[in-house]
Amino acid sequence: MASRRKDTDLSALAARAERAKLDGDPGGFITGGFANSDFSIVLGGCLDFHPDLPEFERKRIVTRVSHDANMVRPITADSLLRQCSKLEQEYLALPKKPFRLLTEVSIWWTIEVPRTCVGQTTVTFNPKTVRGFAERSRLFNESRGSVGFALPDNYMRVSALVTARTPYEAAEKALNGIDLVRASWNLSLNRGKAWRHSGGRPPPVNDIRLSPFHTVHESTGALATETYWYDPGFAKPASLFSDKPRFTRLQEFARNLRARLTQLPYRQDMESALLRYVRALDSADLNDAFLRLWSLLEYLTDSGHDPYKVATRRAAFMFQDRERAQLVLTHLTQHRNRFVHAGSDSDEIESLVFLLKRHVDSLLLFHLGTSFGFTSRGEAARFMDLPPSKAEIDLRISRLRSARKFVSGGA
């Protein structure tokens, strides 16, 4: 059921919409805009929907409610929630059926990549879906003038099979599944990259990247929709990954990571973190990659309160030389603030991204590899607040034992 986001004021929005209705909406608060109005955009930001609803469907629900000429009056937070929840439930009641997303990945076709199951998504590499790829090529050729790029040559074909209510839901599920596989490969590769200096315009950090064009098909191979999904920021193809012995090691790392994810009580949080990681480092705009990585650092350190101090302190806990880590993280914080508040760019953005990646890599590996039995991302992050030296920890253990004795009634 749709719910209010805690950091928003749905009641204030409803009151403003009700006043606009009473006045005939002269300023176009509700009705302005071709597909969206101020009201519909803000309404979408006030609500959380069921995770199965794709972004397309969420926008459709919000648009329908906000543009409904027979909107329930008076407009209140509860009435808006009821209308959005009704449409959400209608969507969730639709039957599911199989769909197949087709795309390609920057791996040389001679490498053997086993079929991989990620949740309820089955990802097949070098699939024998001849008709599906012929349809994909046809749609791309018809749309090439709109997308503005040519498809990369010699990428490996990929198929992701899912069950979903609509092609839009299928696309979201399938891309999440494929990107979780890529996240494990790229994390394995990226953790060994301490720095890079490319010269000229630097490429994205990730070595294994997706084709910029994806299509959704029926199980027969026919297109399920003429809609396609593409990357408008695509600059140039990735170099094909062709190192077979190294790929074998990537596969072992990926298997271990997936096994660890199944044991994590906060698996969904870490799957979300991995998706954010791989998509940040796919970006050809390293300023964009930096900001996304910084947001992920705050997420992994659960530092919503006073994020800069908490995030840097907790992230520095991952390193033996914490003084050095703190200095680096403080510098990265200052760059982030200058860029966000003053638009101040840096010629050293590639170096800054790799510095920040070092700390994000460590945090990801800590969450995914620790055996301390944390039950949540927040609990794991609070562990990083412990003293940074053995002597201080021993002293705290002694004090805690004294406190336990005291509260138990024995002084």
Q: What's 238's DSSP letter?
A: P
Spell out the residues 6+ positions from residue 281 whose beta carbon is closer than 8 angstroms to its own: 186, 190, 204, 205, 206, 289, 293, 357
Specify the 3-state DSSP secondary structure of 289.
Answer: helix
Specify the 3-state DSSP secondary structure of 48.
Answer: strand
Nearest by Cα to 146 from 225, 229, 89, 252? 229
pLDDT averages per 10-residue partition of the chain, 411 residues: 92 95 89 82 95 92 90 93 96 96 95 93 92 96 93 96 96 97 96 78 92 95 96 92 95 94 95 98 94 96 82 93 91 85 71 95 95 93 89 88 82 56
- In the prediction, which pLDDT does 46 show? 96
Q: What is the pLDDT of residues 342-357, one digit of tens each?
A: 655 667 889 999 999 9
- In the prediction, which pLDDT does 38 show? 93
Report in angstroms the alpha-carbon separations of 359 from 214, 332, 346, 364: 32, 11, 20, 9
- In the prediction, which pLDDT does 69 show? 82
- In the prediction, which pLDDT does 336 show? 84
Q: What is the pLDDT of residues 280-322, one digit of tens each?
A: 999 999 999 999 999 999 999 999 777 778 999 999 999 989 8
Nearest by Cα to 209 from 115, 278, 305, 135? 278
Q: Rounded to an integer, what distance in angstroms lies between the CA atom of residue 352 and that of residue 362?
A: 16
Q: Rounded to an integer, what distance in angstroms lies between the CA atom of residue 267 and that of residue 254?
A: 15
Token reading at 33? 């805009």
**DSSP per-residue letters across 182-200:** HHHHHHHHHTT------SS
Using alpha carbons only, how large is the chain's radius of gyration in Å? 24
Query: Which secondary-structure segment (H or E) carries 162?
Result: strand 156-164
